[in-house]
Amino acid sequence: MDDSSRHVVYIVDDDVAIRDSLGLLLGLRGYRCATFASGEDFLSALRADWSGCLLADLRLPGLDGLALQQELKRRGSRLPVVIVTGHGDVAAARAAFHAEAVDFIEKPFDDENVVRAIERAFARESARVGTQDAQAQRDRALGKLTGREREIALMLAEGLHNRAVAERLGISPRTVEVHKARVMEKLGASSIADLIRLTATRSP
């Protein structure tokens, strides 16, 4: 499993027997699980730093699975969602996938189908978390730069040569070279390509 130490399967189902059976199944497979009896309970507990996936029943009292999925999107959560239902519904499946659900699984479900869906969800989540971690690392590296060093780094990343940077800033090429050396050292960059990667605009 990818990042199993960080990811959790959040199970939302009003049927305690289903919650228990899913928790047992996934626990035996080595997954960490947290169970909730309703969408409202899940949202009340939800934290921005949670990672893993949501395994939600389609038909829940109050906030149903699709509404829960939409509410997560409204809140800006990127937690992958797997919808489980005891009632096959093409329109509901279409709506779930349109909202980027990982899978739509009908009860009685096959254990392997559930595990495969969670693995796909975890793969998606690992990619997202990896991107966030890389951005945080870039932010920390850029935070080490002085204002002038950051200014020069961005100009160099635009493709400007030392002399052009010097002319734009009204300083000597030698001064630019000194700043450039400090920038490369602080960022751990060995080439302009590294500099471009580290100063790239944050992904949405």
Q: What's residue 96's pLDDT? A: 78
Joined tokens for residue 102: 């990982």
> Looking at residue 136, what is its pLDDT?
66
> Are residues 102 and 80 in contact, defined by beta-carbon separation less than 8 angstroms?
yes
- pTM given for the model: 0.63
Inter-helix orientation angle 173-187/147-157, to 10°: 90
| Token pair in block for residue 86 | 């005891």
pLDDT for 88 equals 65
**CA distance readout (Å), 93 to 2, 30, 104, 127:** 27, 28, 6, 25
Q: How confident is the model at residue 38, as a pLDDT?
A: 95
Query: Burial, 60: exposed, middle or buried (Cβ in 10 Å; 0-12, 13-18, 19+)?
Result: buried
10 Å Cβ neighbour count for 108? 5
30 phi/psi in degrees, rounded to 5: 95, 10
Spell out, as residue ranges, where the chain has pLDDT lower than 70: 1-5, 88, 90, 99, 129-136, 200-204
**Which DSSP category does 62 fall into?**
S
Alpha helix locations (H) across the chain? 16-28, 39-45, 65-74, 90-98, 111-142, 147-157, 162-169, 173-187, 192-198
In this structure, what is the dihedral angle of CA atoms 82, 86, 89, 91, given to the nearest 10 degrees?
-40
Nearest of 59, 199, 31 to residue 115 by alpha carbon: 31
Residue 137 phi, psi dihedral angles, 5° rounding: -65, -40
Residue 90 is predicted with a pLDDT of 65
Strand partners, 33: 9
- Can you read off the two tokens belonging to residue 57? 């029943």
Identify the CA nearest to 58 among candidates 26, 95, 31, 25: 95
- Which domains, from first to last, does the chain contain? 8-134 (3.40.50.2300), 143-198 (1.10.10.10)
